[in-house]
Amino acid sequence: MIRFGPEASPPQVWAVEDDAVQICWGDLPPGPVTATTGAGDARPAAVDHGGGPGSLDLTGLSPATAVTIELRWTGGRAELSATTLPAPPGQPLTRFATISDLHLGAVTWGALRTMADRSDHPVPHPYRCASAAVAEAVAWGASLLVIKGDAVHHERPEHFEHLARLVDEFPELPMVLIPGNHDVDARAEVIPTTIGDRRLPYIRAVDHVDLPGVRIVAADTTVRGRGVGTLDRVGPAIEARVAESDRPSFVAIHQQLQRARLPRYWPAGIAAPASTAFLDRLDRLDGPVTVSSGHSHRNRSRRHGSVLLTEVASTKDWPGVWAGYAVHEGGIRQVVRRIAAPAAMDWTEYSRGALFGLWSHWSPGPLDQRCLTNAWAGDRSYA
Ligand SMILES: [Fe+2]
Ligand SMILES: [Fe+2]
């Protein structure tokens, strides 16, 4: 593939969990790649690398432990360091995953829409990224998938056909689907009420699913034909579903909650003061709340009082990720993992070049905002 813009991403620790790290690289020569650490309980990792971008997992690590990792490949080595996350308190209860901004049907990328898939792969890049993300989330242990909007690139029947194929590819995996602005960008409504042979509903108001230790509340914050989001239709219903829950809540929406009336970065999300008033009310509720969005195609997290907010990047452009959530009795752990399938990474590495390479720096976000453990305040525990 012809690349322009920044160099391929260097070998780096991309994700940390409580017992594992994900190491990724943009371009290493063919041959074995191995990772070892002096930590006694870590299992050495090795992959037979075909050349180009790749990834490997180092597992069997101890929680909250600093490790030095030696990565070796044909003709080179690098020393990497990482600190594993603390495990949330209490017993693990469930795992689920989210993906967002799949943009199925998209052909080009970049500010000038000049970046296109120059590989001869028979599967379009948004689909192969999304499909690999779901498969990897299932392998990680996710028992449910939340699709947080911009599932399709445009509100067109042919783009929804891609989405139908994707959700039917995983018929046994429970899914929750909300729209993003791209799913409702046609002048006249085209978005189906359900997707695929499995008839997965597109949630057009507010719905929830209860899993052990967490209530997932999903809401449609879109405004037809506009990029910005709104809480006008769904805010009170979200608050009611959170308030009536006997367990911590995870609120999934598409647009991010802005701190200010005017957006400080592109694209605009849900403006203050409505966004902050909503967060103030969630903060005053009894149970712990996590709010997670997509839309911005970048990874960030912050707190608003007791509420944890996370933005998670797109499946289909650099860095190309999905998020996993491990729910314990006493907290939740988020990991944002790069999609490791070579056919996905080949595209996501290329897509770093967007905005003349600025995208490569903007979208990843700091490691500690991608991968974090949030223990419930006051040592509270939910069985
Ligand atoms: Fe998007
Ligand atoms: Fe969006």
Ligand 2 centroid – CA 30 distance (Å): 37
Task: Categorize the per-residue pLDDT at 117 as very low, low, confident or very high, splitting at 50, 70 and 90.
Answer: confident
The answer on pLDDT for 112 being more than 90 is: no
- Residue pair 180/148 in contact (Cβ under 8 Å)? The answer is yes
CA distance 207 to 194: 14
C-alpha 23 – ligand 1 centre gap (Å)? 26
**Average pLDDT in the chain:** 95
- Residue range 138-179, pLDDT digits in tens: 999 999 999 999 999 999 999 999 999 999 999 999 999 999
Q: Nearest Cα to 148, choosing from 89, 186, 99?
A: 99
Q: What is the pLDDT of residues 190-226, one digit of tens each?
A: 999 999 999 999 999 999 999 999 999 999 999 999 9
Q: What is the mean pLDDT of residues 354-383?
A: 92
Percent of the chain at pLDDT above 70?
Answer: 97
| CB 316, CB 336: distance < 8 Å | no
Under the banding of pLDDT at 50, 70 and 90, the label for residue 5 is low
Predicted confidence band at 109 (pLDDT cuts at 50, 70, 90)?
confident
Residues 146, 96 contacting (CB under 8 angstroms): yes
Neighbours of ion ligand 2 (CB under 5 A): 150, 180-181, 295
pLDDT at 127: 98
Question: What is the whole-number distance in angstroms between the Cα of residue 254 and the centre of ligand 2?
Answer: 7
Distance 308 CA to ligand 2 centre (A): 20
What's the confidence (pLDDT) of residue 300?
A: 98
Helices (H), 231-380: 235-243, 274-284, 342-350, 358-362, 367-370
Residue type, 34: T
Higher pLDDT, 237 or 8: 237
pLDDT category, 84, cuts 50, 70, 90?
very high
What was the pLDDT predicted at 44?
81
pLDDT range class, residue 265, cuts 50, 70, 90: confident
Q: What percent of the chain has pLDDT over 90?
A: 87
Instruction: Identify whether the C-beta of residue 101 lies closer than 8 Å to the C-beta of residue 313.
Output: yes
Domains and CATH numbers, the chain: 12-83 (2.60.40.10), 92-379 (3.60.21.10)
Average pLDDT of the residues in 327-355: 94
- Residue 3: pLDDT band with limits 50, 70, 90: very low
pLDDT at 38: 76
CA 230 to centroid of ligand 2, rounded, Å: 13
Which ligand is the nearest neighbour of the Cα of 293?
2
Per-residue confidence at 266, pLDDT binned at 50, 70, 90? Answer: confident
Lowest mean pLDDT among 109-118, 183-192, 314-323: 109-118
